[in-house]
Amino acid sequence: MTARPFFIGGTASHAGKSWMATALCAWLRRRGVRVAPFKAQNMSNNSFPCAAGGEIGRAQVAQAEACGLPPEPAMNPILLKPNGDGTSQVVVNGLVWKTLTARDYYAHTAELRGVVRSAYDDLARRFDVVVIEGAGSVTELNLRPYDLVNLDLVTRLEAPWMLVADIERGGVFGSVIGTFDLLTADERRLCRGFAINRFRGDLSLFEDGVRLIEVRTGAPCLGVFPYASDIHLDAEDSLSIQLQKRSAAPDRATLAVIRLPSVSNTTDFRLLTWADWVSSPPAADYDFIVVPGAKYVIADLEWLHASGLAAWIQAQHRRGATIVGICGGYQMLGRSISDPTGAESPRQRAQGLDLIPAETVLGREKTTRVVKATTGGGVSFGAYEIHLGETTIDREAAFLPFARLHNGALDGVRAQRVIGTYLHGAFEHPAVCAEAFGVPISGLGSSARDYDGLADWFATAVRQPESLGLD
């Protein structure tokens, strides 16, 4: 048996493709359909380790959860983790493959197209429906010869599809009508219609707009979907998390997050909605400063020194601020980081912030695992590790660990106004945040409730769901 595919493409990046795909997954699961998510190629430094091994993008993890499934590499066979220098680390089937420029990456299109098809076929053999998410705009004309993730995949699979546009971004008429004007005959034949996302206000006021677009495109509107401020999903990339709505800083808990050049896993900060993201030494003083994870720890550590932020962080610590390091940020808190095998950098050693008596040695093997842990204050939580290297603390140092893993191993440090941990996701738990920052923090609702809310959101707004052909 082969699954029925359904593709969700967008007029642009951040049009709502991940949101719509997750909602469709939740809606289909509620209807008893065995459904799985798929995104052939994702570009994000927000990744997550699969329990059976390998890492994929966070958006596909959320979609797997909406389907009631554990995430697996087949759901996101190619993950591009940008380095900030025109290259990306290419993760294939969950494992690091190569570091390539865009031009060199495109030279591997034929090979990678086979990787994509094998991963899709694997899912298609096991499920009734595969919900496929595209990337960026589906009609980037210059990229069509290298397309792995958008309409080339649609036509190869003969997959019905829908186009999503975000009305909040403006230009919805031009983006939808223009996209349809650029479609080939086969792409138009397979398209079931368009959806307008993130509409605010009286829906009846846009009915004339819907009819105008339908007339110009010859395609039906599949729904005008309202803005849903009460539903929260993981951000796919750092832009999403840094554009989230800010809140007022709690008393005695002002917070800065360092915007490292290769910052990763910014989902760690989705509860810290009052944080200031800083990339140069600010004039203000803070109660807490967070050094986040980084793809290239040595390069980002050298940037900290060159930018003056390293000296600023040290001065803030002397003044009384608590410095929190997560993963690569934890490694930076020590005396030095060395890379004797050149696993990450041509530089073999870099001076750390010297806030804890620790040394980190990077290795070639990446640690990727999901864990359960308990903080020193007794808070149990789930988290995950994605890092190179091991950090060794001087035996004479009388530091408490940040947490104890449920297998008995110790993680990180909790010292005088210093907190360090390898555990991504720890600060996505309100009780862990409250213990670390000393203030009550509200959560964003349970995942189950958010996915139920997404299913309701989709079911209420979708028009003629039978036209999708997924029953």
Q: Which helix (H) or strand (E) holds 330?
A: helix 328-332
Task: Identify whether 387 is a catalytic site residue.
Answer: no
Identify which of 172, 186, 181, 182 has the alpha carbon closest to the alpha carbon of residue 221: 172
* Beta carbons of 77 and 116 less than 8 angstroms apart: yes
Instruction: Indicate the pairing of strand 161-166 with strand 358-375.
Output: unpaired
Residue 205 CB coordination number (10 Å): 9
Residue 471 CA to residue 460 CA, distance in Å, equals: 17
424 given a catalytic annotation: yes
Paired residues of 203 in beta bridges: none
Concatenating the DSSP letter of every residue in 25-77 gives HHHHHHTT--EEEE-SEEE-S-EEE-TTS-EEEHHHHHHHHHTT----GGGSS
Of 25, 191, 327, 433, which is the active-site residue?
327
How far apart are alpha carbons 358 and 172 in whole angstroms? 53
- Length in residues, the chain: 471
At 326 the three-state DSSP class reads strand
> Catalytic residue among 50, 424, 429, 433, which?
424
Task: Give me the sign of the Cα torsion angle 22, 28, 29, 35.
Answer: negative
Measured distance CA(100)–CA(374) in Å, rounded: 39
Euclidean distance between CA atoms 330 and 322, whole angstroms? 13
Alpha helices in 125-218 (DSSP H): 151-157, 172-181, 185-190, 207-217
Q: Which of 447, 459, 453 is nearest to 28 (CA)?
A: 459
Alpha-carbon separation of residue 93 from 42, 61, 115, 266, 407 (angstroms)? 12, 14, 8, 22, 27
List active site positions.
327, 424
